[in-house]
Structure 1
Amino acid sequence: MKFAISISMERFSPADLMSDAMSNMLALARIADEGGFETLWTAEHHTIECTVSPNPFTILTWLSQHTQRIRLGTATLVAPYWSPIRLAGEAAMCDHLTGGRLEFGIARGAYQYEFDRMAGGIPQQEGVGYMKELVPAVQKLWAGDYAHDGHYWKFPLATSVPKPLQQPHPPIWVATRDPGSFDWAVGIGANILSTPLSAPPAEVAVLGEKFRKAVADHPEHPRPRFMMQRRTCVYDRPDDWETAVRHSVDYGRTFENLMQNIGTVKDGFPEPVPYETVANRANYDPANIRDNLMFGTPDEVIRKLQIYEDQGVDQYCLGLSFNLPFELQVKTLRLFIDEVMPHFAARDTAHERASRGEPSVAAAGY
């Protein structure tokens, strides 16, 4: 299992400086790059300060100038906000500017608040139709001349300019929790991005089963990759969990505002809605959050990660952007790099040696 991080520029108060949001993101990106993380993911959002990212391609291009190896992914682009020609060209340009490190992640979109402002007020559930028309059109534009006559877009013969640096195109990832979209994504040869949100660990197995079924139903394609993301905080002592849980609860109330469109947003800052209005309130119980999310000491996190690996997750993604204090984000990365990742790297090495019929390190006398 490989590891990734998901980070965004965050402002939760007018007193939070944009310059600090930028410098914090850059510092985290550099730590992740130097520490051996496989991918850095960042989102697309509009009109909300808690995720400042009107164009993730711009942010990834910027980060590419300050990192060396880490892959740079969009998690995720929001399909109804784009046209095929524009998306194909912008993604391909980003692929060149990042030296061929782009990972192309896309989704139907989540926040109804944004859809009311960016997509003519369509229900956010309708975004899946846009995504299913958009992605194949982008693939064909990357390949060469293509004319499109679809439900949402129509255009005469055109092509992507430029073409992607990676050939035939950057890896495509589809964000989903829905069985139908799992099936569609695997059917077009895409990888899967998913998340159990704040649900109990059993939800990881539910998502794992959806992935396995989609793979089994599409033997014509090689097995795709499977990424799963959770909010993550690693700390030294078991008793240090309260800060992470408190920030997760408070962030969740902001998330519910935007997801359910049940609160106000003033000058880009969403109001944390009262708990009484939140759906699935059990997921906001502090004890449940501590257990369900990737919060814990390094040893606790290693035990929790085993659940994900057992379900076929190829890449676990640390969700760090939930208004967690910057110092705790840095500490989480440092502890994860120093004490969690070596555990999985050692096991991977042992498995590789065993698959080649070589003796283990211990047996070889090293």
Structure 2
Amino acid sequence: MKFAVSLSMERFSPETPMKSVLGNMLELVKLADTGGFETLWTAEHHTIECTISPNPFTVLTWLAQHTDRIRLGTATLVAPYWTPIRLAGEAALCDHLTGGRLEFGIARGAYQYEFDRMAGGIPQQEGVAYMKELVPAVQKLWAGDYAHDGHYWKFPLATSVPKPLQKPHPRIWVAARDPGTFDWAVANGANILSTPLSAPAAEIAVLGEKFRKAVADHPHVPRPKFMMQRRTCVYAKPDDWQVAVQHSMDYGRTFENLFQNIGTVTNGFPEAVPFDTVKGRDNYNPESIRKNLMFGTPDEVIEKLLDYEAAGVDQYCLGLSFNLPFELQKNTLRLFAEEVMPFFARRERESTRLAVAGE
């Protein structure tokens, strides 16, 4: 199992200057690069200060100039906000500007607040239909001349300019939680991005079974990669859990505002809605959050990660962007790289040794 980091530029107060936001993001990405993380993922969002990334390709191009080896991924692009020709060209150019390090992650979208401003107010659930039309069109544009006559887009013969640096194109990743999206993604040769959100550990196995079934149902397709993400905080002492849990609870109430479109957003800053309006209130129980999310000492985190390994996860992604204090984010990356990742590297070496020996 390999490891990745998901980061967004975060601003929760107008008193926080963008210079600090940019500096913090860059410092964390450099730590991930030198720490041996496989991929840095960043999202697309609009009009929201707590996730600043109107074009993740721009962010990744900037980060590529300050890193050496880490892969740079979009997790995720929001399908209804793009057109096929524009997306194909921008992604291909980013692939060149990052030296062939782009990972192309896409999703239907999550925030109804954004859909009301970026996608004409369509229900965010409809985003999956846009994604299923968009991704094959982008692939064909990357390959050469292609004319499209679809439900959402129509255009005469055109191609992507430039073509991607990676051949035949960057790896495609699709965000999935329901079985239909798993099946469609695997059938189309895409890798899977998923998350158990705040659900108990049993949800990890449920998602793993959806992945295994999709793979088994398409035996002609090479096995794709499977990434799973959770909010993560690693600390030295067991009693240090309260800060991470409180920030997760507060951030969750902000997410509910945007997801359900039930609160106010003032000058880009969403309010945290009251607890009596949130869905899944058990997910806001402090002990449940501490247990379910990737919060713990290095030893506790290793124990939790074994569930992801057992579910067939190829890449576990640390979700660090939930207004966690900057020093705690840095410490999480340091402890994870120094005390957690070596454990799994040893397991991989031992597994390889046994395979070579035929044991």
- Please report the TM-score for the alignment, with normalisation by the length of structure 1: 0.97
Match in the other structure for 1:31 = 31
Match in the other structure for 1:166 = 166
Distance 2:234 2:16 in 1: 24
- How many residues are aligned here? 359
> What's the Cα RMSD here?
0.8
1:15 Cα deviation (Å)? 0.8
Task: Write the deviation string for residues 60-81 of structure 1: whole angstroms up to 9, x where unpaired.
Answer: 0000000000000000000000
Q: Does 1:4 align with 2:4?
A: yes
Q: Does 1:112 align with 2:112?
A: yes
1:88 maps to amino acid? A
Distance 1:86 1:137 in 2: 11
Task: Write the deviation string for residues 197-254 of structure 1: whole angstroms up to 9, x where unpaired.
Answer: 1111111111011101100000110110000000000000000000000000000000
Q: Does 1:90 align with 2:90?
A: yes
Distance 2:267 2:255 in 1: 17
Distance 1:21 1:226 in 2: 30
Distance 1:92 1:6 in 2: 22
Distance 2:20 2:342 in 1: 31
Aligned ranges 1:186-335 → 2 under 5 Å: 186-335=186-335
| Deviant stretches of 4+, over 6 Å | none
2:21 maps to amino acid? A
1:358 Cα deviation (Å)? 8.2
Match in the other structure for 1:144 = 144
1:176 Cα deviation (Å)? 1.2
SS, match of residue 356 in structure 1: helix
Task: Write the deviation string for residues 161-196 of structure 1: whole angstroms up to 9, x where unpaired.
Answer: 000000000000000111100000000000000000
SS, match of residue 121 in structure 1: coil
Structure 1: which 5+ residue stretches go unaligned? 360-366
1:50 Cα deviation (Å)? 0.2
Match in the other structure for 2:74 = 74
Q: Does 1:40 align with 2:57?
A: no
1:308 maps to amino acid? Y
Distance 2:350 2:17 in 1: 47
Distance 1:63 1:54 in 2: 15
| Percent of aligned pairs sharing the same letter | 79
1:265 Cα deviation (Å)? 0.3
Distance 2:176 2:222 in 1: 19
SS, match of residue 130 in structure 1: helix
Structure 2: which 5+ residue stretches go unaligned? none
